[in-house]
Chains A and B, each alone.
Chain A
Amino acid sequence: MRHFKRGVAAALFGGLGVALAGWPAMLPPARAQAPAAAAPGLVAQGEYVARASDCVACHTAPGGVPFAGGLPFALQMGTIYAPNITPDPQTGIGRYTEAEFARAVREGVRRDGASLYPAMPFPSYARMTDADIHALYVYFMQGVKPVASTVKANSLPWPLSMRWPLIGWRMMFAPSVKDAQAKSARPFDDPVLARGAYLVEGPGHCGACHTPRGITMQEVALTGADGTRFLSGGGVIDGWIPTSLRGENRTGLGRWSEDDIVEFLKTGRIRRGSAFGGMSDAVGHGTQHLTDEDLHAIARYLKSLPPHDTTQTPWRYDATLATALHAGDLSARGARTYVDNCAACHRTDGQGYPTVFPPLAGNPVVMDKAPDSLIHIVLTGDILRATHQAPSAFVMPGFATRLSDEKVADVVSFIRKAWGNDAAPATAQDVARVRKALPRTEGDAAVPLN
């Protein structure tokens, strides 16, 4: 999920000029009270909240100590680094009082009063309960080892290095804690739904990736109560397009059952598809650690969201092209490239070998309006990470060096057309555009060991 945050930060600085007036809100200097040793249950509870909030994703450098910061967010005009959030008093957050900590997490204000870059999803965290924040604080202070590690200074040139313009952004787009909490606590018939809404809209910050953003990079909806654009699919992040988590039949979760979603969040792999891109990390760091009850709550809540795009006809498997391939007819655009490069794993009938190799037939990612994710994965390949319950990782090789833009466009068009997918074809220009925008390094792509 760290990918999206890079995207957000990039866009923010890429010419937005959120140059609105405001001054850092200064807090009286306060010394952190080393919290009295809390019940061990509280530390574990806080750790759980940290998982649900996926703190580790951003606050850990590739191969680095968890929470010691240093993950670079490479932007066009410089690099910013995620801070050390271990309780080291000098280089980490050891001197934060609980109130300062709560303000940073929920309101995006640092201990010294400076604004945090909205790479930190504080507009979502704003709705976190005091109890969760308390547990989280106890966990960071007592359950995490302090690591003295000074994160590299951000290398943004002036005037971008000034943080004060962010205050305006915060004032315009980040909800107050009170409002946010009130909204999440809106009435639900089913307590499971209420819990799901809290997790999705709050700590889980699913919308950070899966909700479209406005021109000033704010999420256009922060909760299910804000209309159907909430979780209706996000913008491109590092060349991946997060799909809709709403009820669209083709491109959303319309055909996924509650159990499908639970299993997906646990293992990253179900009969309908496998996690890749940023979602692979989200499952790995975050969702796989959640309890079955919470996963069901999330799933049930997502299943309660009606489609944003109400025009989609239900996907139905169409065997025409599969039959042609089976008979050796490779005349369709991209068919030959598909058979030579993809069919071993994804099969000529597009059904794949789930849950090892995902199906392409009926896969929501494949039918997305934009072909970017599909193009990206064909170019770079990707890794389905191991989880506790599914200890095997699977690597898809990249084809960037083997297939030209035309060939990639052909094969992507084939996949988007075949098996009833019927999505619009891709062009060589699309491929060139995605190829050009690919992140140069996938810093955290540790090679799986199976």
Chain B
Amino acid sequence: MASIKMKPVDAVVIGGGWAGSILAKELTEAGQTVVMLERGADRSTASDGAYPGSIDELEGNFRHKIFQNLSKTSVTIRNSSDQTALPYRQMAAFLPGEGVGGAGLHWSGVHFRMPPDDLILRTKVKEKYGEKFIPEGMNLQDYGVTYDDLEPFFDKAEKVFGTSGEAYTVNGQVVGKGNVFAPSRSDHFPLPALKDVYGANMFRKAAEEVGFHPYAMPAANASAQYTNPYGVQMGPCNFCGYCSGYACYMYSKASPNVNILPALRPDPNFELRTEAHVLRVELDGTKTRATGVTYLDRNGNDVFQPAELVIVSAFQFHNVHLMLLSGIGKPYDPVANEGVVGRNFVYQNVTTTTAWFDKSVYTNQFIGTGGGGVAFDDFNSENFDHGPLGFIGGSPVWVNQAGIKGIAAAKIGGPPGTPHWGSAWKKAMVDTYQHSVRMDAHGTNMAYRDVYLDLDPTWKDAYGMPMLRMTFDWKDNDIRMNRYVVSQIAKVTKAMGARDVHLGQRQPGEHFDTRFYQTTHLAGGAVMGDDPKTSALNRYLQSWDVSNVFVIGANAFPQGTGYNPTGMVAALAYWSAHHIRTTYLKNPGPLVQL
């Protein structure tokens, strides 16, 4: 195939998801010419969210119509360094996106700000419990930014996403019934909180009764029609339950497609190229400067796109993969405990508890919205004393009834122990569908020396590139954290008057099993920080080694957090863009001098 060289542009953005769209918008606003390269197809509500064809559970959640095409690229996975990794060939544990909007098109919409203490976790833990409290082999780090640094950008992201929620404090004043543990905000949520579904409301009352502090989950599912600062509009959510895995047909769930791109596409400085799979970022002879990127176009041509600035925003693990393939930053070596790219790879530690109620209580599991629900944070972040408990981390707990559809309900069936077929199964399934409530402990996963990402020595993807290898397993600290928090849920289910409860807890010694969906909240691997020995990026998400490369995504989190990542990813994207606009473009070079 031909080798094509394109006309140079100011900036090239890799990936058309949340991070990429935010950066492309900000850079075009700054007058830069921007080319955004997206490996997948173009997507929109009118095509992918066309009602009623779009709300097809088989096509959406089981055949994964708008997810990554694993026959072209995937990752390999193993639990520990002494194993041989195998490719992840079928979507299960996590569901990466592909196509314009990325996973941001088929996400659920839970939209949090990072707890302030999580941003300075190492400092906080040392201060509260002493350095010895940190287990051997755990890489606990600070982000290098504080909540106050990021507050304006959390605020901006919420306004762009049209987030629904209720504040607790605005500018230090108590203003509502929001999360008492949440930090003060500079403004209210742009939209009022979504209504509680029935099960969430039962949970709210019970949690209050036992002395916890429930609040409405902040959700990027619009509680009313909304116009964001870009002038683009959203419709109101109708709790149809087709968020996760689908493009929302009501224009109600925030996505790059609905919330940013309508204002970006008409900009003459902006060009979107789809079916453009980036193979690597090209560096000059000094390896300290990127000259552009090479991608394969839809006809298989090798295309070089020269650019002054490269934004890597292809999703957490793709970002790490691209850095490794391009030679940006020193790859992590777990044996020597050196290098940073691939280091501190983390996941989300989620388990689900189910409670069954009297037949007169209809919880109607089919109703719901991806981001809505009721949560309490009494066991999240540093909101409780870890001293006597002996673990680091925590979990928010919530009823996030996102709408369970028919096939999923059939797969869930009844309580553990009921058959998976026949009339007993049917009865239990119907009972569960109508009369149960599911609660998640959505916990942290800390970073460990022997959990990491690197290039697989054996497996190559369809483009001949070495695949990314994940070495991941659950660790004792995180399992104990989960077991403790879940044990607290029992108090709530009791107060709810449950007739039967299944507490979803991790088992001691449990291994990561890729066959079951957990979440797509993967993080770390190219983290931000103040020290280039333990971070691949500085506090502005700029590569320490190649200063005209910025890497935007959850890869920047040094360890896991109890919340879903996207609120933080978006805030970091705006934060980074702000510093590119105000400082970097005026004087390109490292934004942090060592």
The verdict on B232 contacting chain A, using a C-beta distance below 8 Å, is yes
* Cross-chain contact B251 with A356 (CB below 8 angstroms): yes
Q: Write out, one digit per residue, whether chain B residues 238-257 have a CB within 8 A of any chain A CB (1) or not (0).
A: 10100000000111000001
Q: Which residues of B contact A356 (CB under 8 A)?
A: 225, 233-236, 251
* Cross-chain contact B51 with A449 (CB below 8 angstroms): no
Q: Smallest Cβ distance from A352 to chain B, in angstroms?
A: 9
Q: How far is the CA of A357 from the CA of B257 in the complex (A)?
A: 18
* Cross-chain contact A450 with B257 (CB below 8 angstroms): yes
Q: Which residues of B contact A355 (CB under 8 A)?
A: 225, 233
Q: How far is the CA of A392 from the CA of B224 in the complex (A)?
A: 16
Given contacts A449-B44, A450-B44, contact A392 B251 (CB under 8 A): yes
* Cross-chain contact A397 with B225 (CB below 8 angstroms): no
The verdict on B130 contacting chain A, using a C-beta distance below 8 Å, is no
The verdict on B258 contacting chain A, using a C-beta distance below 8 Å, is yes
* Cross-chain contact A353 with B46 (CB below 8 angstroms): no
Interface size bracket, B side: 20 to 34
Q: Give A269's nearest chain B residue, CB to CB.
A: B233
Given contacts A345-B250, A448-B46, A450-B257, contact A391 B225 (CB under 8 A): no
* Cross-chain contact A450 with B261 (CB below 8 angstroms): yes
Q: Which residues of B contact A391 (CB under 8 A)?
A: 230-232, 262-263, 266
Q: Which residues of B contact A386 (CB under 8 A)?
A: 262
The verdict on A370 contacting chain B, using a C-beta distance below 8 Å, is no
The verdict on B52 contacting chain A, using a C-beta distance below 8 Å, is yes
Q: Which residues of B contact A353 (CB under 8 A)?
A: 224-225, 235-236
The verdict on B58 contacting chain A, using a C-beta distance below 8 Å, is no
Q: Secondary structure at chain B's binding surface: helix, strand, loop or mixed? A: loop
**Chain A contacts with B in 375-425, Cβ cutoff 8 A:** 383, 386, 388-395, 397, 402
The verdict on A354 contacting chain B, using a C-beta distance below 8 Å, is yes
Total interface residues on A, CB under 8 Å, equals: 23
Q: Which residues of B contact A397 (CB under 8 A)?
A: 50-52, 249
Q: Which of the residues A383, A390, A395 comes within 8 Å of B233, measured between beta carbons?
A: A390
* Cross-chain contact B50 with A395 (CB below 8 angstroms): yes
Q: Which residues of B contact A389 (CB under 8 A)?
A: 231
Q: Which of the residues B42, B47, B51, B258 comes within 8 Å of A392, measured between beta carbons?
A: B258
Q: Give A384's nearest chain B residue, CB to CB.
A: B233
The verdict on B427 contacting chain A, using a C-beta distance below 8 Å, is no
* Cross-chain contact A357 with B46 (CB below 8 angstroms): no
The verdict on B265 contacting chain A, using a C-beta distance below 8 Å, is yes
Q: Which of the residues B42, B238, B250 comes within 8 Å of A449, measured between beta carbons?
A: B42
* Cross-chain contact B250 with A392 (CB below 8 angstroms): no
The verdict on A344 contacting chain B, using a C-beta distance below 8 Å, is yes
Q: Which residues of A contact B90 (CB under 8 A)?
A: none
**Chain B contacts with A in 73-112, Cβ cutoff 8 A:** none
Q: Which residues of B contact A390 (CB under 8 A)?
A: 231, 233
Q: Which residues of A contact B353 (CB under 8 A)?
A: none
The verdict on A447 contacting chain B, using a C-beta distance below 8 Å, is yes
Q: Which residues of A contact B240 (CB under 8 A)?
A: 344
Q: How far is the CA of A353 from the CA of B235 in the complex (A)?
A: 7
Q: Give A447's nearest chain B residue, CB to CB.
A: B46
Q: How far is the CA of A356 from the CA of B248 in the complex (A)?
A: 15
Q: Give B258's nearest chain A residue, CB to CB.
A: A450
Given contacts A395-B46, A397-B50, A450-B251, contact A345 B235 (CB under 8 A): yes
State the A residues within 8 Å of B (CB).
Answer: 344-345, 353-357, 383, 386, 388-395, 397, 402, 447-450
State the B residues within 8 Å of A (CB).
Answer: 42, 44-47, 50-52, 224-225, 230-236, 238, 240, 249-251, 257-258, 261-263, 265-266
A-B contact pairs, 27 of them (CB 8 A): A344-B240, A345-B250, A353-B225, A353-B235, A355-B233, A356-B236, A386-B262, A389-B231, A390-B231, A391-B230, A391-B231, A391-B232, A391-B266, A392-B233, A393-B46, A395-B45, A395-B46, A397-B50, A447-B47, A448-B45, A449-B42, A449-B46, A449-B257, A449-B262, A450-B46, A450-B258, A450-B262
10 shortest interchain CB distances as A-B pairs: A353-B225, A391-B262, A450-B262, A392-B233, A356-B225, A395-B46, A447-B46, A356-B235, A344-B238, A392-B232
